[in-house]
Chain A
Amino acid sequence: MIERQLTLIMENKPGALARVVGLFHQRGYNIDSLHVDPIEDFSPYKFIEDELDVKFSIGEVSRLVIKTTVADSLMRQILRQINKLIEVIAVSDEDSTYLKGILRDENLL
């Protein structure tokens, strides 16, 4: 088991963070560290805007970074569970990214 880092882009709405944190507890995964802040510079995420055909404005979307120590085999399951949360727009680990239901074989975030 090694420490893995997950990056999420999610709607900055009340309760959204609680859904992510709750999911870790509910599914029996542990959180080593967690950092969240609203995104102010969207230039690195323009590909998301293009892909989803949306335009983010300041304060609308947050970036969440979670470190967790889990078995490799569980990582895909965690990604998929997080991807299912309605307010999560994209989620990446070191190897892949889910961009709303669509899996990419690279870390885009």
Chain B
Amino acid sequence: MKLAGNDMLIQSLINEGVEYIFGYPGGAALHIYDSIFKQSEMQHILVRHEQGATHAADGYARATGKPGVVMVTSGPGATNAITGIATAFMDSIPMVVISGQVQSHLIGTDAFQETDMIGISRPIVKHSFTVDHQSNIPQIVKEAFHIATSGRQGPVVIDIPKDLTNPDDLFDYEYPEEVNIRSYNPPVKPEATQIERVVDAIFNSKKPVIYAGGGTISSNASKELIELNSYINVPVTNTLMGLGVYPATDDKFLGMLGMHGTYQANMAMHNADLILAIGARFDDRITNTPEKFAPRAQIVHFDVDHSSVSKIIEADIAVFGQVKDSLQAINELIKDRLSELDTTKFDQWHAQISKWKSEHGLNHNLYKDNSDENPILPQAAVQHIYQESKGKAFVTSDVGQHQMFAAQYYHFDEPRKWINSGGLGTMGFGLPSAMGVKLAYPDEEVICITGEGSIQMCIQELSTCSQYKLPIKIFNINNLALGMVKQWQDMNYDGRHSSISYEDSLPDFKELVESYGHVGIKITKNSDLKKGIEEAFSIKDKLVFVDIYVDPNEHVYPMLVAPNGSLKDMWLAKGSKT
């Protein structure tokens, strides 16, 4: 079969099984968009800004495990995609971004809408390709998808000059069935000796903790993790990226750890004698001061990426490979040796953790304080959302206080349900990522918990939701200020609130969303909270935006004491620390 470059590119995506392309056309991508027009196997979703395209593709990828696909034009189209690529890179999300480029003979001449996309994106991609000839397009697309979805996953950019998509130049097309990149060989199988050492370490420990992160989700290893803990029955904490990989309603679950983690999770980590780090990378929001991190713990680190192990915290036992394979191997061995394990030796440890939980665990009665004399607590809003959605929804979020409240009070029992920008902390992520999730799962409830600061960073996508009829539920936890910045200013800058207020410039969100054809609900007092959220969930066929005015002075607690603190050093409430 002979095809032109533009058709080759689109046919390659079809061969990869792509369902949705999130993108925005422009000069350098015109030939490609003509090919998109001529086919019907994939749907192109026209966003309102390229950042929205990348986040939507990212949300699709996080929810489904399949790579998200983005199409942008050269110059500003490409640079607008950068924040979303960096977001995916930091959280190891598989994504393929195709950027149009000016014609080959114009490269380097400062041509109209020319920018060095490969150069600009280099530090935030797993890999990138420049198409140098049409006949290489199928191979490049195949390699791009292989790299994006294998090993430690991540975004891959393909930059393609316009002349190489010219519809008049035909070349042989055959999509490769296999790919073999001689210089790329991600580790697959864990070493048996390491697996034995891990099982010995578990059997010899008295105070073990499982600390599981986003890599466990990427590797689809939730089932294996739950199986492991059905044998050893030890406390489990999840990172912000790992929430859902272990059921939050299980009695061995400690909640999230780290900066705004629960008291019992952070105390368990600090006092543990064995930490099983599974697909987690000891991020600075987890360790606090690395030198003071878990002083008595032996560290076992499961990771697919060599460079993540012993980067921040030295591992005593390292297990390289896909977490799923490693956990399967551990489970096999533990099953054989189960008679050696007396789990009652952990009883004292469990009792200690229960004590911590009862002393300073999260207060789950906040939603009961419903007098109208008090402002709505943001935590109570999240609790109502959790109850009304029966804990089953996909929840995307933006970045800030609302994100932490959602992580603390929405209890995820399944992986891939909690979709947030953990590594980069990208405001504006919530709404577009929810679009990607909703397209992937049109029959599931998809919620975006956001704030009035974050939502305005990609609010243009309300229009996209209208065009493609995406009935997402958006809950705007509105505290009239950039709440997390304000909290830091309260705590560290004597309450000097520098540039965190919009004064009286906020739009009336209800009217704003109604102008797009959506439904707006405004909640300002406690007595309307439950009713308003119930009403939102009763509307099935339209996007509902619920603007919830909450206490503008609420802080997120617990909060690690920094700098120089350890994991046991936490603020538990205003003016009160451990």
Query: Which among B118, B123, B130, B147 is the interface contact of A86 at CB below 8 angstroms?
Result: B147
Q: Mark B130-141, 1 if CB is under 8 A from A, else 0.
A: 101000000000
How many angstroms from the CA of A90 to the CA of B121 in the assembled complex? 24
| Chain A nearest CB, measured from B122 CB (Å) | 5
* B122 near A88: Cβ-Cβ < 8 Å: no
- Chain A residues near B181 (CB-CB < 8 A): 86
Instruction: Give the bracket for the number of chain B residues in contact with chain A.
Output: 20 to 34
What residues on A are CB-neighbors of B307 within 8 Å?
77, 80-81, 83-84
Instruction: A83 to B306: give the CA distance in the assembly, Å.
Output: 9
Within 8 A of A (CB), among B156-203: 181-187
B185 to A, closest residue via Cβ? A100
Q: CA separation between A14 and B159, bound complex, in Å?
A: 13
A19–B128 alpha-carbon span in the complex (Å): 10
Given A18-B119, A19-B122, check contact A86 B127 (CB 8 Å). Answer: yes
- Contact of A89 with B306 in the complex, beta carbons under 8 Å: no
Query: Which chain B residues numbered 268 to 310 have a C-beta less than 8 Å away from chain A?
Result: 305-307, 310
Please give the distance in Å from B389's CB to the nearest CB on chain A.
Answer: 39
Q: Mark B301-331, 1 if CB is under 8 A from A, else 0.
A: 0000111001100000000000000000000
How extensive is the interface on chain A, given as a class? 20 to 34
Closest to A88 in B: B183
A78 nearest CB neighbor, chain B only: B307
Does B126 contact A22, Cβ atoms closer than 8 Å?
Answer: no
Query: Measured between alpha carbons, how far is A103 from B185 in the docked complex, in Å?
Result: 13
Q: Counting CB contacts under 8 A, is A58 at the interface?
A: no
Chain B residue, CB-CB nearest to A90 = B183
Q: Is A54 an interface residue (CB 8 A)?
A: yes
Convert A9-20 into 0s and 1s, putting 1 for each residue whose CB lies closer than 8 angstroms to a CB of B: 011001100110
* CB nearest neighbor in A for B126: A86
Main secondary structure of the interface of B (DSSP, over half): loop
A59 interface hit (Cβ, 8 Å): no
Contact A26 B183 (CB under 8 A): no
Return chain B residues, CB-CB under 8 Å to A87.
183
A10–B181 Cα gap in the complex (Å)? 13
Q: Is the CB of B306 within 8 A of A10?
A: no
Bound state CA distance, A72 and B157, in angstroms? 34
Return chain A residues, CB-CB under 8 Å to B306.
80, 83-84, 98, 101, 103
Distance to closest chain A CB from B178 (angstroms): 15
Are A100 and B123 interface neighbours, CB within 8 A? no
Chain B residues, CB < 8 A from A14: 130, 132
- Which residues from 35 to 91 on chain B have a C-beta closer than 8 Å to any C-beta of chain A? none
The reply on A46 being an interface residue by CB < 8 A is no
Check A104 for interface membership: any CB of B closer than 8 A.
no
A64 to chain B, nearest CB (A): 13
Separation of A52 and B180 alpha carbons in the complex (Å): 11
A108 to chain B, nearest CB (A): 16
Q: A83 to chain B: which residues have CB within 8 Å?
A: 306-307
Complex: A88 Cα to B305 Cα, angstroms? 15
Known A77-B307, A84-B307, A101-B186: A22·B130 in contact at CB below 8 Å: no
A89 to B185, CA, bound (A): 10
B-contacting residues, A3-54, CB 8 Å: 10-11, 14-15, 18-19, 22, 26, 52, 54
Contact pattern, A 66-99, Cβ under 8 Å of B = 1, otherwise 0:
0000000000110011011011110000000010
Asked if B183 and A10 make an inter-chain contact with CB atoms under 8 angstroms apart, the answer reads yes
Give bound CA distance, A94 to B186, whole Å: 24
Q: Using Cβ atoms and an 8 Å threshold, which residues of chain A touch B182?
A: 52, 54, 89, 100
Expressed in whole angstroms, the Cα–Cα distance for A89 and B184 within the complex equals: 8
Contacts of B147 in A (CB 8 A): 86
A76 touching B310, Cβ below 8 Å = yes
Q: Give the residue name and chain of the B residue nearest to A16 (CB).
A: B183
Chain B residues with Cβ below 8 Å from A81 are 307
List of A residues within 8 angstroms of B310 by Cβ: 76-77
B128: chain A residues at CB < 8 Å are 15
Interchain CB contact under 8 A, A77 and B183: no
Which residue among B127, B187, B305, B307 has the maximum number of chain A CB atoms within 10 Å of its CB? B307
Q: Separation in Å of the B123 CB from the closest CB of chain A?
A: 5
Q: Tell whether, in the assembled complex, residue B185 and residue A22 are in contact, meaning their CB atoms are under 8 Å apart.
A: no
Residues of A close to B122: CB separation below 8 A:
15, 18-19, 22
Nearest chain A residue, comparing its CB with the CB of B308: A80
From known contacts A80-B307, A84-B305, infer whether A101 and B185 are also in contact, taking CB-CB under 8 Å.
Answer: yes
Which residue of B119, B122, B305, B306 has the most chain A CB atoms within 10 A of its CB atom? B306
* B118 partner residues in chain A, CB cutoff 8 A: 15
Contact A86 B311 (CB under 8 A): no
Give the one of A10, A18, A54, A100 with max B CB within 10 A. A100
Assess the A101–B187 pair: CB atoms within 8 A. yes
The 10 A-B pairs of least Cβ separation, nearest first, read A80-B307, A100-B185, A86-B127, A89-B183, A80-B306, A26-B123, A101-B185, A54-B182, A86-B184, A81-B307
Extra contacts besides A10-B183, A100-B183, A101-B187 (12): CB < 8 Å: A18-B122, A22-B122, A76-B310, A80-B307, A81-B307, A84-B306, A86-B181, A86-B184, A87-B183, A88-B183, A89-B183, A101-B186
Q: Residues on B close to A: CB < 8 A?
A: 118-119, 122-123, 126-128, 130, 132, 147, 181-187, 305-307, 310-311
Which residues of chain A have a CB within 8 Å of any CB of chain B?
10-11, 14-15, 18-19, 22, 26, 52, 54, 76-77, 80-81, 83-84, 86-89, 98, 100-101, 103
The contact sample of 14 A-B pairs, CB cut-off 8 A, is A11-B183, A15-B122, A22-B123, A26-B123, A54-B182, A77-B307, A77-B310, A84-B305, A84-B306, A86-B127, A86-B181, A88-B183, A100-B183, A101-B306
